[in-house]
Amino acid sequence: MSGPRLRDHYSYSVYADPSTARSFDVRRFGGPIGRMVAAAQADVLARGAGPIRNRAVLDVGTGTGRAAILMARAGAQVTAVDPSAEMLGIARQRAADESLSIRFAVGDAHRLEFPDQAFDVVISLRVLMHAEDWERCLAELCRVSARLVIIDYPSARSAALLQAIWRRLIHRFGARTEPYRVLSDRAVAKVLKDAGFRVDSAHRQFVLPIAVHKAIGSRRFSERTRALSARLGLLRVLGSPVTIVAERW
Contact 59, 141 (CB under 8 A): no
DSSP states of 167-200 as a string?
A: HHHHHHTT--S-----B-HHHHHHHHHHTTEEEE
Predicted TM-score (pTM) of this structure: 0.92
State mean pLDDT over 187-213.
95
> What is the second-level CATH architecture of the domain 4-154+179-206+241-248?
3-Layer(aba) Sandwich (3.40)
Predicted pLDDT of residue 25 = 87
CA-based R_g, the chain, Å? 17
What mean pLDDT comes out for the span 196-209?
95
Residue 34 has pLDDT above 60, yes or no: yes
Would you state the pLDDT for residue 7? 59
Round to whole Å and give the CA distance between 64 and 59: 11
pLDDT at 6: 55
* Average pLDDT of the chain to the nearest whole number: 92
Where in the chain are the domains? 4-154+179-206+241-248
Using an 8 Å Cβ cutoff, are 126 and 154 in contact? no
- pLDDT band per the 50, 70, 90 thresholds, residue 15: confident
Residue by residue, DSSP assigns 63-118 as TTTHHHHHHHHTT-EEEEEES-HHHHHHHHHHHHHTT--EEEEE-BTTB--S-TT-
The bridge status of strand 119-124 relative to strand 145-153 is parallel
